[in-house]
Every structure is written in structure tokens, then in C-alpha cells.
A and B are shown apart, each in its own frame.
Chain A
Amino acid sequence: MNESYELERVRDSAMIRQLGVRVIIMRGGTFVDLQKSVEAVLGEEANALLYEAGIRAGTSSTQILLKKWGREDFMKRWAEFYGSRGCGWFKLEEAEINPERGGVIKLSSSFIAEGYGRSEKPVCHFLCGFLVGVFQELLGIKLACEEI
């Protein structure tokens, strides 16, 4: 696992890659601005929309990483990636998934929670969906995620 997780600038192309995939740099607050704008227009429907968007993102991200890492070592590499550098979204603290009984995934440093400010309700719908997408793709079963 000596793979570099560093961002790589593609010379003279204004592109950045990480793990060979094009990524973008976006201020965390920009996503939160987008989320708050969607919430202002759609109300609670926005939560479902962000959650669905997260599922798509998690699914496609896992499909890309599965091609790169393979299935056998995937969980170990995924945990190492998101537990260390990741892509600036969150730090994975713990992941314990049982395909039959569900499980708990503990994250810290969520860029959404940090940028959102004080809230009485959960706000990381996109990240919840993202985790659902990742583990559905990996385990081949339907999952749902509740933020606590």
C-alpha cells in the first residue's frame, strides 16, 4: 500500500488528479452554500435530494476504486484512504458493517457539519448517502443510513 494519495497537477491542463481520477478543489463552504440554497428552495425535500446525490457519488466512486484496488483488499485500502488523507470530506474513525444486522460508521471532521454551523438537526445527508452508495456497491445489498 505504498500508493500515493497526493494530488497530482496535470501539467499545462488546469486539471488535478488524485488516484488517477480527475478531482476538483472546492472550498468546503461552497458545497454548504449549495446545500443551503437547495434547502431554501425545496425545504425538507432537499435532504432526500442530497442523500440520493450522495448514493450516486458513493456508488460511482466505489466502482472506480474497485477497478483500481480490486475487491479483496478494498475495505482495508478504503479505510486507510479515508482514515488518513481521504479527499477532505471527512475522517473515517470506525467502520463496522454487518451485512445482516447493519452497522456503525463513525466519522469526524465532516466538511458539511463544519461549514454548516450550529444545527438542531442532522445535516450530512450527502455523506450519509455517499456511505450507502459505497457499501451497497461493495456488499450488493440495499442499505439505508441514519445520521446520529
Chain B
Amino acid sequence: MSLGALNKLFGPSIRLLVLELFIENPDRLMNLREVARLLEKNPGSVARVLPRLVEDGLVEQIRVGKNIYAYRLNRENEVVKILLEFHSRLKQLKIKC
């Protein structure tokens, strides 16, 4: 997967890559392995940044089974609302960084 607009502007950063994946797929429920596969990163690397995104309230952790979790963008979060708008406008600009 190529780097997204946020990553081009502020990265490179695995945290940003993960966050941007959720921003680009705002309603998609993904597990950790799926996130890693889509970003072509090792699941262990994603596991080192995803909990903090949950802690910060940007991503929701949803229990889907015994000890099995999936993740989704927390659209209720005020920062996320701003980020969705910012990301959408940034993509329209088609900036080259």
C-alpha cells in the first residue's frame, strides 16, 4: 500500500499509517492482522502502536470473541471528526510532499 496523504505530510510513521488506514476506511471493522496485511507491516509493529490509538480515543476496540478484538475508527471522537475533514480536504489538494 502506498503512503497516504497524512503520511506524506507528517510521516513516515507507523502510527500515522495505521490511523490513516482507518480514516480511509471509516466504517470498516479490522483486526490487527488485517491492518498489518493491508499496510504490509509485521503484526508486531502494528501491535506496538494500535493500543495507543485506542487509548487516545481515535480508534475503538470492539470485542468480537473470547480474547478476539477488532478495531474501527471512532467517528464520535471530536479529533477524528476534524481529521476526517482535514484528510478529505488534503486529498482534494493532491499535494506532493
Contacts and interface: CB of A to CB of B under 8 A. Distances in A.
Q: Which secondary structure characterizes the binding site on chain A?
A: helix
A47 B48 contact: yes
B52 A52 contact: no
Contacts, number: 40
B13 interface: yes
Of the listed residues B13, B15, B43, B45, the one surrounded by the most CB atoms of chain A closer than 10 A to its CB is: B45
Interface string B4-39: 000000000111000000000000000000001000
Contact of A146 (B15, B36, B47, B49): B47
Interface residues of B, number: 13
B50 to A, nearest CB: 10
B43 A44 contact: no
Interface of A: 44-45, 47-49, 51-52, 55, 125, 128-129, 132, 142, 144-146
Interface of B: 13-15, 36, 42-49, 52
